[in-house]
Structure 1
Amino acid sequence: MSETGTPLLRIRDLQIAIRTGAGHSVPVVSDMAFDLAAGETLGIVGESGSGKSLLSLAIMGLLPAVAVPAGEIALEGENLLRAGEDRLCQIRGRRIGMIFQEPLTALNPAMTVGDQIAEGLVWHGGLSWTQARGQAVRLLDQVRIPDARARAKTYPHEMSGGQRQRVGIAIALAQKPALMIADEPTTALDVTVQAEVLDILDDLTREYEMALILVSHDLGVIARMCERTVVMYAGRRMEEGPTRDVLTAPANPYTRALLSAMPRRVTDADRLATIPGNVPGFGDLPQGCVFCDRCPERFEACSKHEPAWMVRDGRGQRCLKAEGMGAER
């Protein structure tokens, strides 16, 4: 929280619908809400198709034209859903930075990586190109790219996946935003490079005292990096709380199913646990609880009644079996 008690980021009753034509729309994110304090780290985890990336794009104001958001996404008290594009352009980079999932497609293939880092410093930071290029070299050095001055003159296709992701981090860090969003920043990297990238991200967000939202399907990454975790499924938050509590004593059946499916050392006789079925399409959600068709703990009422979001002792979850939990006020 800030000195005034206002969170850096406040999300309330966020809904995102996709227009399908003829005046119809399909809800893809529903009833999303959380606060993020300055300097706090928040993990958002769930299977592919859970709505994690759409949530990130909504915060950045980068949703596709067919997506219609409603509710509140307030950065330092300003509702970004009411901001025009000119205002959002002022906020992106300066106040919110984003590291995209696939740096090869996020980076411009026709510009050197140094100029791509420098560009935002010229347009938003008021630096000359000479000053900005010098700062770009320093940023490349900060993200541990060797021979940074020479590498600043290279193009994205001339770099490895890990190096490109470090360039993405440098671009997002260039203007020292208050909030960093990292959307699956290590998905395509091998485990050694993944660890190096996470170390860099952890060190630099601490150095710059930035809040971090880390989007991932990897619970190990979330456990390493985040103080608090939101678990998403089919566009809904299923559980939220301190990361240690969520991962060691999960309250929601979906979180327990995710944890049981984590890869671990097994013998030839063991089988990797899986969650049966697939995440439902947003136009084909089951009645009642969205997870009921796949839930090993379901009972008859689960297919008839959608559970409300319930909170107790700083832990939130959405499940009909959450007896004794108090409704969120």
Structure 2
Amino acid sequence: MSAPLLDIQGLNIAMRLARGGRLPIVNDLSLTLQAGDTVGIVGESGSGKSLLSLAVMGLLPPAAVVSGRILFEGRDLLSLDDDGMSEIRGRRIGMIFQEPMTALNPAMTVGDQIAEGLVRHEKLSWNAARDRAVELLDRVRIPDPKARASAYPHQMSGGQRQRVGIAIAVAMRPALMIADEPTTALDVTVQAEVLEILDDLCQRESMALMLISHDLGVIARMCARTLVLYAGRRMEEGATRAVLTGPLNPYTKGLLRAVPRRRADDGPLETIPGSVPGFARLPAGCVFSDRCLDVVAACQAGEPAWTSPLPGRGVRCIRAGEEVSA
């Protein structure tokens, strides 16, 4: 097998505190993507999903302290300076941000915002870059793309702004696309259209996709593999179908039980007790032990190791072996 496109090894992210010391957030996270892979990152808000994407993009805040390795096309991104990362962002790794209204520049037309990356990375003239921007707007199905290229973000709907974000992210045909909650706050019809556009572009350009979402339905539709995060830890990983139909970690089971039912007679909607704890108040042992329905005394004795009880599956739970043997 060829070397991974993206190889995250033992990633740790902590934040410096104003009063001194550091607050660990992401703990010993590893993940690999081959060229053309699609992986979904799921978990409740506060699980560390967006921090993972920002670490790959080199966009963590100044207070962040990072260790481990993030190898992309064989280069350790954590060793690069700002100029080195600027050559990779957009050109080799594209990102679709969660909220396009804040990600887009309100003082620039959307056409110019798409064009500026083409001018920087592909050395096109502004006229040629603007023509290319119109083509990209057409590819993401913006009506009347030539006219809309002269529009400002506030003159477009939420769905159209998200399509502009996709156009910017794919403009340089990157090898890896990171999509952070790309359908948040969109209605169901527009959400389906945005996902269809994203899927079509990834397949056409043979891009790898890292899709961050709290929506397991979106992950099931878009991703071949799924990584479940909680409190900055890997809780489970494997083929999406296997993870969603045969979860090994109680947290994954809780997420699945909380998925809204299509029919009223499917039973009441369940919730996971409690809420995601602050990183300064994690419980002893397994970080999910204070909310877990399957907790036993041994769960609080120490943090479980990451194990592979089945081929292609990974899980952090001392009781995972019971699921495998059942």
* Matching residue of 1:184: 181
d(CA) in 2 for partners of 1:265, 1:166: 28
Pair 1:56 & 2:53 matched: yes
d(CA) in 2 for partners of 1:224, 1:266: 20
Asked if 2 retains the 8 angstrom alpha-carbon contact of 1:310 and 1:325, the reply is: no
Matched residue type, 2:221 = R
Asked if 2 retains the 8 angstrom alpha-carbon contact of 1:44 and 1:232, the reply is: yes
* Matching residue of 1:313: 311
* Matching residue of 1:38: 35
d(CA) in 2 for partners of 1:94, 1:39: 16
Which residue of the other structure, out of 167, 170, 175, is the alignment partner of 1:173? 170
* Matching residue of 1:136: 133
Pair 1:227 & 2:228 matched: no
Q: TM-score, normalised by structure 2?
A: 0.97
Q: Secondary structure, in 3 states, of the residue corresponding to 2:25?
A: strand
Q: Secondary structure, in 3 states, of the residue corresponding to 1:181?
A: strand
Cα deviation 1:135-179 (Å, max 9, x = unaligned): 000000000001000000000000000000000000000000000
* Matching residue of 2:74: 77
d(CA) in 2 for partners of 1:22, 1:119: 41
Matched residue type, 1:321 = R
Pair 1:11 & 2:5 matched: no
d(CA) in 2 for partners of 1:275, 1:87: 43
Which residue of the other structure, out of 275, 289, 294, is the alignment partner of 1:292? 289
d(CA) in 1 for partners of 2:106, 2:179: 21
* TM-fit CA distance, 1:46: 0.4
Pair 1:215 & 2:205 matched: no
Pair 1:152 & 2:154 matched: no
* TM-fit CA distance, 1:213: 0.2
* TM-fit CA distance, 1:325: 10
* Matching residue of 1:249: 246
* TM-fit CA distance, 1:304: 1.7
d(CA) in 2 for partners of 1:256, 1:231: 11
Which residue of the other structure, out of 278, 281, 293, is the alignment partner of 1:281? 278
Matched residue type, 1:314 = G
Matched residue type, 1:318 = R
* TM-fit CA distance, 1:191: 0.5
Cα deviation 1:25-59 (Å, max 9, x = unaligned): 01100010011000010000000100000000000
Structure 2, unpaired ranges of 5+: none
Q: Which moved more, 1:266-275 or 1:192-201?
A: 266-275
d(CA) in 2 for partners of 1:36, 1:268: 40
Q: Secondary structure, in 3 states, of the residue corresponding to 2:320?
A: coil
d(CA) in 1 for partners of 2:18, 2:301: 29
Q: What's the Cα RMSD here? A: 1.5
* TM-fit CA distance, 1:303: 1.5
Instruction: Percent identity, please.
Output: 67
Q: Secondary structure, in 3 states, of the residue corresponding to 2:90?
A: coil
* TM-fit CA distance, 1:23: 3.5
d(CA) in 2 for partners of 1:304, 1:158: 56
Q: Secondary structure, in 3 states, of the residue corresponding to 2:256?
A: helix
Q: TM-score, normalised by structure 1?
A: 0.96
Asked if 2 retains the 8 angstrom alpha-carbon contact of 1:98 and 1:182, the reply is: yes
Bigger helix share: 2
d(CA) in 2 for partners of 1:268, 1:105: 41
* Matching residue of 2:83: 86
* TM-fit CA distance, 1:270: 4.7
Cα deviation 1:287-328 (Å, max 9, x = unaligned): 0000000000001111122100001311000001123899xx
* Matching residue of 2:193: 196
Which residue of the other structure, out of 117, 120, 123, is the alignment partner of 2:120? 123
Asked if 1 retains the 8 angstrom alpha-carbon contact of 2:104 and 2:153, the reply is: yes
d(CA) in 2 for partners of 1:114, 1:240: 39
Q: Which moved more, 1:15-24 or 1:56-65?
A: 15-24
Q: Give the 3 Å change call, closer, same or farther, for CA 81–218 of structure 1 in structure 2.
A: same
Asked if 1 retains the 8 angstrom alpha-carbon contact of 2:248 and 2:323, the reply is: no
* TM-fit CA distance, 1:22: 4.2
Q: Secondary structure, in 3 states, of the residue corresponding to 1:124?
A: helix
d(CA) in 2 for partners of 1:253, 1:42: 21
d(CA) in 1 for partners of 2:82, 2:106: 25
Q: Give the 3 Å change call, closer, same or farther, for CA 174–101 of structure 1 in structure 2.
A: same
Cα deviation 1:109-134 (Å, max 9, x = unaligned): 00000000000101111000000000
